[in-house]
Amino acid sequence: MEYRKEIDTIIDQISFKGKFNINLDNYDHILIGGMGGSGIAGFLFSEIYSKKPVIVLNTYTCPDFVSNKTLVIAISYSGNTEETISCATEAKKKGATVLSITSGGKLSEISDQAVIIPSGYQPRSSLGFLLMPIINTIAPELRNHIDEIKGNITDIRNNENHIISISRKIFESGKVPYFISWSPTSSVAYRCKTQFNENAKMLANAGYLSEINHNELVPMGMNHDMDPFIYIAFKNSYSVRNERRLEITKKLSSRDITIIELKGKSIFSQIMYGIYFGDILSYHVALLRKVEPRDVSIIEKLKLELSS
Residues that bind its own copies (CB under 8 A): 28-29, 35-37, 39, 50-53, 55, 58-61, 63-65, 82-83, 174, 176, 182-183, 193-194, 197-198, 201-205, 208, 210-211, 213-222, 224, 226-229, 239, 241-242, 244-245, 248-249, 251-252, 296, 298-299, 301-302, 305-306
Active site residue 51: no
Query: By C-alpha distance, which of 162, 113, 149, 127 is closest to 45?
Result: 127
Dihedral angle over CA of 229, 264, 51, 76, nearest 10: -60
Output 120 or 174, the one with its CB closest to its own copies.
Answer: 174
Query: Minimum Å distance from CB 151 to its own copies?
Result: 27
Output 205 or 237, the one with its CB closest to its own copies.
Answer: 205
Active site residue 251: no
Report whether 98 contacts 112 (CB < 8 A).
yes
Report whether 30 contacts 138 (CB < 8 A).
yes
Q: What are the helix and strand counts (H, E) for the chain?
A: 13, 9
Q: How far is CA 165 from the centre of its chain?
A: 23
Query: Minimum Å distance from CB 108 to its own copies?
Result: 20
Active site residue 303: yes
Given 92, 198, 235, 284, the catalytic residue: 198
147 Cβ contact list (under 8 Å, min separation 6): none
Map residue 226 onto helix, strand or coil: coil
Output 63 or 104, the one with its CB closest to its own copies.
Answer: 63
Question: Which residue type sits at 10?
Answer: I
Query: Minimum Å distance from CB 150 to its own copies?
Result: 27
Output 91 or 152, the one with its CB closest to its own copies.
Answer: 91
Which residues are marked as active site? 198, 214, 303
